[in-house]
Copies of this chain bind each other. A is one copy, B any other.
Amino acid sequence: MTELKPGVTDLMDAIPRSGPLDNPCAACAVRDMSVCGALKGNEIGRLNAIAVRTNVGAGETLFLEGDAADHIYVVIDGCIKIYKMLPDGRRQITGFLYQSDMVGLAFRQRYAFSADAVSNTLLCRFPREGLEKLLDEFPEMERRLLSISSNELASAQDQMLLLGQKTAAEKVATFLWLLSRRAELKGADPHKILLPMMRSDIGDYLGLTIETVSRTMTQFRKRGLISFTSSSLFQIEDPAGLAEVGSVDESWEASVALIG
């Protein structure tokens, strides 16, 4: 895990910006989608003063369950998995976090879960203490945080419904459908799905073994619902069919985090 002074490395340069070099937050790609968006114009400098960009390589650990919860992160680019483990090694991945998602948000002394990078990930790191001070100062920011955690709670409930009630086929179909919705929301092609995580991650997220995930996917391929280019890249051939198989509720708001 490497730390970067803002505006120095290759990865940094991959992030589009137009503002002054000494205030990268002002031009951050994810600013409007995250808590940061609550601060406007000149206020954003306050955030920038406590922000540190951090790069985490694929498979590296950001923090472990039980570590002192000193920092809060925002994913700038890449993918993070958060998970809890049982003493014997069983693992439940409780979420995959992407661009603009927050990691480590917990008003407790210690993290209640671990976080690893799925792929190379660039994050913005804030000391908890400093961020809390800003919250005192800017109630708009606090309101936004409340809205974010309320959305997270809603998708946690969706995930409980999936884990507790859905069959293997429904679980996998729901997972793929959700990835498609996320791509759509980001303005990408919702039919081309790139899976940055491996089968064991998908299994531990859905409460299934890797074998069941694999078998279910080939079954979907044989049924013409999807087709794969490689094991981590595929095409959704029948979105409606996938939603049907997944018993997905399309009636209203998307469960992928929307910032209100």
A residues neighboring B (CB under 8 Å)? 66, 84, 86-88, 90-92, 94, 105-108, 110, 112-113, 135-136, 139, 142-143, 145-147, 149-154, 156-161, 163-166, 204-207, 247, 249, 251-253, 260
23 contacts between A and B (CB under 8 A): A66-B251, A66-B252, A86-B161, A86-B247, A92-B160, A92-B161, A92-B165, A94-B157, A106-B154, A107-B147, A107-B150, A108-B150, A108-B154, A112-B154, A112-B157, A113-B157, A139-B142, A149-B150, A149-B153, A152-B153, A156-B160, A163-B164, A164-B206
Roughly how many angstroms separate A122 CA and B149 CA in the complex, as a whole number?
27
Contact B207 A164 (CB under 8 A): yes
Can you name 12 extra interface pairs (CB under 8 A) apart from A84-B158, A86-B161, A86-B249? Answer: A105-B150, A106-B150, A106-B154, A108-B150, A136-B139, A139-B142, A146-B146, A146-B149, A149-B150, A156-B157, A163-B207, A164-B207
Contact B153 A142 (CB under 8 A): no
Roughly how many angstroms separate A10 CA and B161 CA in the complex, as a whole number?
38
* Chain B neighbourhood of A157, CB < 8 A: 84, 92, 94, 112-113, 156
